[in-house]
Amino acid sequence: MADSKKILITGTAGFIGFHLADRLLKEGFEVFGIDAVNSYYDVNLKLDRLRQHGIQVNGAESKNAINSTIFDSYKFYHLSIEDWPAVESIFNCEKPYAVVNLAAQAGVRYSLTHPREYITSNIDGFLNILEGCRHYDVKHLIYASSSSVYGLNTQLPFSVNDSVDHPISLYAATKKSNELMAHTYSYLYNVPTTGLRFFTVYGPWGRPDMALFLFVKSILDDKPIQLFNGGDMMRDFTYIDDIVESISRLVGKPPKKTDNKASIKNPSTSSAPYQVFNIGNNNPIKLLEFIKEIEYAIGRKAKIDLYPMQPGDVRATHADVRSLIEYIGYMPNTSISIGVQNFVKWYRNYYKGQ
C-alpha cells in the first residue's frame, strides 16, 4: 500500500510549488520535487527558492535526485515533465501516494507569442503526469488549472458550475484541456483527480511577471506602472498561504465515484472520481485600489500610464468558493493589506537596498 506521506510535487522551483513543498516538508511529508528551472523568468529567483530548502542545482540537466541538505525527506529532480522516460522512472522509484502538478508554462500574454511551449509543457507534460498516476496507482492527483478558463464569461462571481467553453488565450485553452484530460483518466482508469482554478496568486517569492511584483518594482525604480483597459480592471488576489492551506487540506481528500451523472449544470463534478474547485479570496479589488495598498506599504506614490485592453486579458475576476469551503472547511481570507505588506517586506529584503 502506498505511503500516504509520500508526495510528488512538480514545479517546486516555482512560486506555488516552493511554498507547498515548504509546508508539507514541515508537516512531515516525504516530498519528491520536479522542475525544469526554465528561463521564462529570472532563473536565479528559482534557484534561490530551491536553496531555501538546501537544494543546489548545477548548470547541467540532471535526472538523478539531488538530496536536500536541510530536509532529509526532500529529493529534487532537475528535469522537464515532458521527458516521459525520466518522469516514469521517478514514479517507478518513488511510488508517491499523491501528486500535485504545478509545473506548466505560465502567462497569458507570453502564450500569444510562444504558443508551442504551452502545448509541449501544459499538454504533453500533463499527459505524462496522468500516465504516471495511471500506471503507478497514485491515490490522488491535484493539478493547477486557472481562473483564465472562464474566458468570455461576464457573470460574477465565477462559479465552477459555469460553462468554460470560450477561452480567450492559448494558456486558458491548455488549462481547460487539462481538466478534460483529467476527467478522461478519472473515468477510464479510476484516477482520482482534483483541479484547482487559481485566482491571481501573490505573496513573498512571487513571480516577476505578476502584477504585484511589477508594480512594486516600478514604484521603487521610480518608473510608471502600466495599467491596461484605462485602469478599469479588477482581480481576486489570493495570498499564497491561503493557497497552500487549501492544497494541504485537499491532499488527503481525493474525490470518490458517485451515482450522479455528470451534468451540464454542474460540470465541476462527475460520476467519475473527479472534481474542480475555485481557489480565490472571494473579495476582488480594483487595480487602482490595489496600487493604493502598495503605495501605503512602500511609503511612496506610484506613477501610472494607462493603456488599452490587451489581447487575452479579462476585465474582472471573482471566485465563488462555496464548494471549496464546504469540502475542506476553509476559506482563503488573508487581507490585501497584510498580503501586500508581507510581499513588500520580502522584496526589499531579497533585493537589498530597495
- Per-residue model confidence as pLDDT tens digits over 93-107: 999 999 999 999 988
Tell me which residues are annotated as active site.
171
DSSP 196: E
Find out whether 341 and 297 touch, Cβ atoms under 8 Å. yes
Find out whether 229 and 315 touch, Cβ atoms under 8 Å. yes
Asked whether residue 278 carries a pLDDT value surpassing 60, the answer given is yes
pLDDT at 1: 46
pTM, whole model, 2 decimals?
A: 0.95
Asked whether residue 170 carries a pLDDT value surpassing 70, the answer given is yes
Q: Which residue from 144, 163, 142 is spatially nearest to 154, judged by alpha carbons? A: 163
Please determine, looking at this structure, whether the domain spanning 6-205+237-282+317-334 carries the CATH number 3.40.50.720.
Answer: yes
Q: Sketch the domain layout of the chain as residue ranges.
A: 6-205+237-282+317-334
Residue 184 CB contacts under 8 Å (≥ 6 apart), including other chains: none
Residue 326 CB contacts under 8 Å (≥ 6 apart), including other chains: none
CA 204, chain centre distance (Å): 14
Segment 200-218, tens digit of pLDDT: 999 999 999 999 999 999 9
